Every structure is written in C-alpha cells, then in structure tokens.
Chains A and B, each alone.
Chain A
Amino acid sequence: MRWLKVSYMLSRTGAPILLSATLASGCGETSRARDAASDSRPDSSVFVFPPSPDGAAAIPTNLCNCQQGPYDFTIPFPAEGVAATPAALCADVSGGFDAGLAIVSGRAARVTMAWASNPDSTNTLGSITIAPELAGKVVGVPVVSFVPTASSGATQVAISNVRANGLGFAFDAAWSATPGLQCAPSDSWTFKTTLQIQCDGGGVRAIESLTNVRLCKEYGSQGSWVSSGDTCNACATICEMAPSPIVPAQSGDDLPLGSALTVAIRCLAKVGNALLLLAEHEGGEYAFSYDWSVSTGEIETLERDVALWRLPDGEMDHVHLAQVAVVGANASAVASLRRGPCLA
C-alpha cells in the first residue's frame, strides 16, 4: 500500500496553495516534491479524487478554518475510504486524518440527480441513498455540499431543503448555469455528503462521501443524470473494437521488442492545478525505466512510476498532454493522458 501525503496552506484570501506532495510506501517516506511556485496564483479549490467514477475519495476538510496552516492530509491510493459498515466506521480512529475530522467512506452515501421540471433548467432534485448497512444508523439529516473542481468550471450549486424521504434523503439544487450545455470541462460535478451515524457503543461518527455526478448523452436538452458507478448509454465509439494485439507475451527472443507491454496513465489526485499521475503496466517484475514528459507546465517524478504534473494557472481548461515512455530490456510502451475539452 502506498500513501500520498499532501501539505497545503491557505492564502490570505483562503485559497489553498500546494506545498508538497509526498509519497510513502510501507514503512516510510520515499520521495518528496516541493512547490517552488508558491507565489503563483492558486486555484480556487483543493480537492483530491480518484479518476474512476466510483466516487470513493478522500478530501481534506475544514477548508473554512481560516488559519493559514500548513495543513496535511493523507490518502491511500487507490482511495477507497473506510468500508461503509457500522463496525468499520465506528472502529476507525483516525484513518490518516486528524482526530475530530470526518471519516471518509466513499460508499456510505451516494448522490443522484434528476431534473426538477424540464431539462435545460437550472433546478435539479437530488437524492441521497445511504448504504444499506448504515440504514437506521443515520442521526438527523445529512449535510450536502457542492465541491468545486476543475471539472465543474465556474459552476456553483446552491443546496437547500435537505429532507428525509422514503428511501433516504432528498434536496434541491439550484445551479448558477444550466448544466451540461457546453462541451467539457463543465461536465462533472462533485457533491459531498456529510452524515452522522450512531455507533453501537455510544457516540456518533461524522462520515463523508463524495459522489461525482454528470450528464450522460449529454450536453443538451433531456440529458439524463448519472452518478458514480452508473452506466452511461452515450456510446463513445461505434465500430468493430477488438484490441490488437491481445497478447502481452512475456518471453524475449533474438528479435528486438520480444515482450509486449501495455501502459496506462492514471490520474490519482488533483490539488489545485497539480495532477498526481501513476503509470500502470502489466509487465511484471521486470526492471523498467520511466521517462515522463508534458506539453505544458512542469512534471516532477516522485517515484519512477509516479509523477506530479503542475499546469500553469488557467490552463486546466485547455488541451494538454502528459506522456510516459516505459522502457525495459526487451519491451517498451508509451502512454498518454490527454486533458481538455472533449478529451474525456
């Protein structure tokens, strides 16, 4: 298991500034990256999420605590959070977070969205589904908040009227602009649900869950809402799609490139304009070298397969590329991560 420890401080305006991202594995710290550009104008948000749509995530809390910091938080990656069971949640002491903060449990609560009246409007109805194992344990009414991210662009969402309904909870969401009318980046919105659960041994625990919500088939009227884990019916590719080759043959021979290698870049976390990237491959335990490069900004290698990509201010919404070349004795592969409008 590896852990990412992120340190940040708040500017006088309350905007977070990344100070460092530190990777630790097993028994301790292995590498460190320092942000030399602390005087640059920071992004207006700090957030961390796994890129997969399952919504399990860790997020620093108490951003409204207006002391400057620095603050640290730690996430395991992939960040599943604490299992959504009373036993696990009530037993968790810190989970890498400061005592007193909410426990992150990605599957404890899940937000779904629906159009309030007609599509294209700025009003939607939200629902909160509580994990079955926590049914009957929730104390009071959850707090729902909109978490601004780079994917949400300038959109703001005001949450009101959180109330119990038959299956869980519901709320009203008023959007600053009709969601989904434009091509990305305004294509994904993150909601945080904070709830209190009653522990059998007494006392309550604060739990947080993040859900990514987006419009599927999409960008226009009558788009349907999907949440983390939902299937989107908008086809991205229509053709005969069998990949080739299907074989990661792992035996070398007298010809070059005797072993096949497949590499993919995963975005593990975002903090402001910084992206933490992991190069995953199926090459087994061979010795590989990693060469990272980016089309803009700076890339810093934390470990050979983990790199921190810092994009210049205002560049999150433009088209950019990160690449990694993985080279071994008898195998090579290149993977790319494209970011920007229409590149999801």
Chain B
Amino acid sequence: MSRVVLVGPNRQENLALQYLASSAQVAGHEPHILTCNTRADIAQVTAEVTHLRPEVVGLGVQFQHSIDESLLLARSLRDAGFSGHLTCGGHVATFCYAELLRDGPFDSIVRHEGEQTLVDLLDALAAGRKAKDIPGLVWRADGAIGMGPKRPPIRDIDTLPWPQRGQEPYLVAGVPIAFLLSSRGCTDTCSYCSISAFSRDAGGPPFRMRNPESVADEVAHLYRDLQIRTFFVQDDLFILGSERATLQRVEALTSALRARNVTDAAFWVKGRPDSITSAVLQALRAMGVLHVFLGVENAVDERLAYLGRHHRHEDNLRAIQLCREHGIVPSFNLMLFDPDCSLEDVAHTLAFARETIDLPWNMCRTEIYSGTPLLQRLQSEGRLAGDYRSYGYRMRDARAELMFRILRVALHERAFAFDSLLNRLISLSFARQLHERLFPGPESRQLSDETFALMRAVHADTLQILQQAFAMAEPPDRVDAAETQREAVAMALAASRRDLDWYARAGQLWEYCHVRGRHLLTQSPSQMTTTAAPRDL
C-alpha cells in the first residue's frame, strides 16, 4: 500500500483528482487530496504534505496558466525535505513532459488519462520496484527520459469507480450541488482546444459515453445520500452532434432518473449551437436542464472556421432564440480575438454582444494551449511567442492587437481575471435560475429582475469600454505609446470605481441566494414557495 497525496486546484470540485483518488483507493492505496489554487496555498500544502508523509505526491497540472504554481510547489516540497516520488499529470503535463522534467524536480510524468497509470505506479513503488516501464508514464533515466508506451483512453469508463468526493457537498445559491461526468473526450477538432488534442494524442476512441443507467445510479446516490439537487455536467460534449443520438441519450437518462425517483433535479450542461434543436431542448427541459453553456465563441463565420468550429453564426442566433423559447438560459464566452482576426471581425462580435445584453456572457482572447493545432500553426508561421509556461502571439492586424492590449489593462478586473465581475454575473444568473426553479414565487422573480438589471447595467458599461478601446485602436497611425497607456490606465481605474457598487450588489444577491436557499431547503417542501422578505432587495 502506498500513501499518495494528490494536489490541484479546487475552485469547483476537481473531478480529475477525485477519479484518480478513487482508483487508487480501490486498488488498496491511501489517497489524500489537497487544494492548491494559487501561490498563496503553496506553504500550506507543503506543510500538510510534510505532515502526511506520503510515499508519492501527484500534482494535477490542468491549465497552461498554472504551470508556474506547479513548479513552485514541486520545488517547495523538495526544499521541505520531501524525498518520495514526485509526479504530475493532466493536459499540460501530457504534452509538456520533457519541459516539466527539465524544469521541475519531478521523478515522473503521467500522460493522458491517469487512473490506471497512477495505480501501476503506486503498485510498483509499494512493491519496491522502480517507477519505470509503465504504460503512460515518462520517467527520468540516467540523465535522459524514459517513456512507456502510450496508454490508450479507457474504453469503458463505466468501469471507473465513482469519484472520491468530500463528505460535505458544495453549495451554490444555498443548494447542494455536485459536478459529474457522463462522458469523456470530444468528437470535434477545434483548433484551440486542448481537450480534443489530449484525446486524440492518446490514440483510441476520442469520445466515450457512460451508460445512462450508470450515470443515473451516481446521480441517485448523490440525490439520496447527500441531498444534492443540482448537477453540473462537466462533459465537454453532453449534447451530441446528431439530434437523434442526443434525444435517445437524454431520454434514456431521464427515464433512468425517474425510475430512481429523481424527478426534481436541476442540471447545467454544455452544448454546441449547431446541436441545439427544439426537440433537443424539449428533452433537456424534461430532464431538468436549466442552463446551457453554449459554444458560441464568435459572430463571424470566417473566425469560427479558423477556430475549427463546425457551426456558423446563424446557428448561434437560432440556438439562442430556441433556448429563450424553451426557458433555458444560455451563457457563453466570446473569443473576441484570435491571431488572424481583424478589427472589423471584432466589431461584428461586439454588435452581437450588444444584441444579447440580457444574457450572461464574458469575453476573452483565444489562448494557446499545448498540443493544439493552433499552436502548431503559429509555430509553423513563426508567430508563436513565449514558452510552454505561457504562450503568446501578436495578432496579424495591428489594430486588433492594440485594442486587445488596451483591454488587457482596462478590462482585466472586469472581464479577464478569474474572479471577474462578468464571471460572477454568470454565476449569479445561474443562482437566480435555480431559485426560480426550486422556490417559485414573487421573491424569486424579484431576484431575477434584480439580477437582470445588474447584468444589463454591467454589460452596457462593458460595451462602452469596448467601444472606447475600439476607437482608440482604429486610427492606423496611432502610435503615441505614452498617451495610449495613460488612457488605458484611466479606463481601468474608472471601470474599477464603477465596479465597486456592482460588486457589492452582486455579492449581496449571491449571499441572499445562499441564505435563502439554505433556509428554504431546511423547511418542508410545502413551505418552499414562501420565505421571509428578501434582505436587501
């Protein structure tokens, strides 16, 4: 038996680590999961690892932007005297294993899906064998790198034990929630997407689904034993490309849930605009889906094609309209910038954002992830900047590049930061939907009205900032660097001052949802439509 500590971010449930932990436990090992969200957590994690004295520590490197934290944590563990086996895995580690072994004090890297590889590694170490010659594993070998054969994706993901969740459920809006997976991988080949790259690099089937009966078993267990009423389905592809296949799957899942007396659960799922049809939405609604995170991405067909999307903007418009008609709220990110976009492209997508001012959205630049076709394209064009810890590029259209740089200063806190106001509003939008669903009545409607009013105000202001940045970038002869910097800083300071009251209001509404949800869920179902007067509303 080996004691293993798995470390990774945990802003929502970290299903990746939970699946690894459950597999390790079933195999007779002793897993522990620790949270490391930011650099500020490194000292605490190091202390806890020192206290736990594990034989193995595994770091989950999920995202390109968290590589530095992983390297710092690895060094911190070694500095604190951890002499056991140090490994890491995840999307980034799968592609950047050589760099991580070069720059970090790791003994090995787990590539692709890690459940069985981790178990094999733990078994080997527990038996006193060396950590090498294991499929899916990369290891140090006398100054070189040893590499086992690729481990193909797990074909039957129903064979995996359920993720090892904490004893206390997560809460959103005062309602216990759980995150779950009903499939792994994706059938698409979006040029920027590391998920697709990860699946395809492993060989074997890139997309695998769980049996609806198995999914329903897990949902029913969480529903019954932990009183979970809301499920965030983290599938990258829950709504399938074929309407017929989607209907078949959703209806099977709905039937399986009903057979287990799960009739009032709410779901958040992800889908692509070209997969949204009226029949699909009806089926999703019957299942309890409230919210679809919709892969809109951009409002220009040429940009969508560049990003490897198979849908057109008319699909975006149609899907959003259908969602509205069926009472399902879509939220989305707009990939406003990409390496080859023009300022005119940006203008089109901004116009679309203006048309959807009442919907929860945010925006971003297309980022470059390891293993993706877009990375390879920029590399071949000689345009890839930075390194595996932080890739970058300069847009071909200098005006678009300049607009982005201005926004990088002016909208960082409002839109681009992890805990941005726009992200909070997406969360709040879901919270109020949840209350409308679980606690119907005038208070919930008032909550929704307040949320809509707040979102409209923030979006309108955001669009003004975007327009201002657009205007600053439009004159091609704009080269006064100092003046541009001053204006960008002034825009950021002014936006932050305006955000103060909006942050406070969003926080009040979020807390109100939390208190109200907790309060009403402790009452009998018949009392759920009444509550005390909404505080601060």
Contact = CB atoms under 8 A, between A and B. Distances in A.
Contacts of B524: none
A138 interface: no
Nearest to B478: A256
B44 A247 contact: no
A334 B489 contact: yes
Contact of B500 (A257, A260, A319): A319
Interface string A132-161: 100000000000000000000000000000
A130 B412 CA distance: 42
Contact of A238 (B48, B172, B493): B172
Contacts of B480: 256
Contacts of B503: 338, 343
Given A222-B522, A239-B331, A242-B367, A255 B510 contact: no
The prevalent SS among residues of B at the interface is: helix
A241 B485 contact: no
Interface string A218-250: 111111100001010111111111111111110
Contact of B401 (A244, A255, A330): A255
A251 B412 CA distance: 19
A247 B392 contact: yes
Contacts of B392: 245, 247, 249, 260
Interface in A228-287: 229, 231, 233-249, 251, 253-258, 260, 262
Interface string B480-514: 11101100110011001101110110011011001
A237 B424 contact: yes
B409 A52 contact: no
B40 A52 contact: yes
Nearest to B390: A247
A78 B331 CA distance: 40
A63 interface: no
B12 interface: yes
Interface stretch (B147-155, B163-171, B206-214, B300-308): B163-171
Interface string B346-367: 0000000000000010101101
A257 to B, nearest CB: 4
B17 interface: no
A340 B501 CA distance: 11
B434 to A, nearest CB: 10
B474 to A, nearest CB: 14
B427 A217 contact: no
Interface stretch (A3-11, A26-34, A164-172, A321-329): A321-329
Contacts of B268: 238
Given A219-B511, A219-B514, A334-B412, A238 B171 contact: no
Interface string A159-188: 000000000000000000000000100000
B326 interface: no
A29 B386 CA distance: 39
B385 interface: yes
A342 interface: yes
B409 A332 contact: yes
Contacts of B177: 235
A254 to B, nearest CB: 8
A245 B47 contact: no
Contacts of B171: 217, 233-235
A336 B413 contact: yes
B406 interface: yes
Contacts of A295: 497, 500
Interface in A31-89: 52, 54, 80
Interface string A114-131: 000000000000000000
Interface string A293-334: 101000000000000000000000001110101010010111
A235 B406 contact: no
B244 interface: no
Interface string B400-427: 0110011011001100111100011011
A239 to B, nearest CB: 4
B412 A333 contact: yes
Contacts of B390: 246-249
B180 to A, nearest CB: 14
Interface string B361-399: 010110110000000000000000110001110100010
B496 A323 contact: yes
Contact of A237 (B11, B482, B499, B536): B11
B496 A336 contact: yes
Contact of A240 (B168, B293, B416): B293
Given A241-B423, A245-B416, A183 B174 contact: no
A220 B521 CA distance: 11
Contacts of B386: 247, 249
A341 interface: yes
Contacts of B169: 233
A282 to B, nearest CB: 9
Contacts of B385: 247, 249, 251
Given A220-B174, A256-B484, A258-B405, A231 B493 contact: no
A244 B192 CA distance: 14
A246 B375 CA distance: 14
B330 to A, nearest CB: 12
B518 interface: yes
B507 A343 contact: yes
A314 B509 CA distance: 24
Nearest to A50: B40
A222 B169 CA distance: 12
A246 B482 CA distance: 24
A268 B493 CA distance: 22
B18 interface: no
B419 A257 contact: no
A235 B504 contact: no
B162 interface: no
B515 interface: yes
A241 B427 CA distance: 10
Nearest to A224: B168
Contacts of A333: 409, 412, 492
A265 to B, nearest CB: 11
Nearest to A239: B426
Nearest to A319: B504
Contact of A242 (B63, B479, B504, B511): B63
Contacts of A253: 394
Contact of A217 (B367, B405, B514): B514
22 contacts: A54-B44, A183-B536, A217-B171, A221-B518, A229-B44, A231-B35, A233-B166, A233-B169, A235-B427, A236-B11, A237-B424, A239-B360, A243-B417, A245-B392, A246-B390, A249-B390, A254-B479, A295-B497, A295-B500, A333-B409, A334-B493, A342-B508
Given A231-B10, A245-B367, A338-B504, 17 more contacts: A183-B508, A233-B169, A235-B171, A235-B172, A237-B11, A238-B426, A239-B360, A239-B430, A243-B418, A247-B391, A256-B485, A257-B405, A257-B481, A258-B405, A295-B500, A319-B504, A343-B504
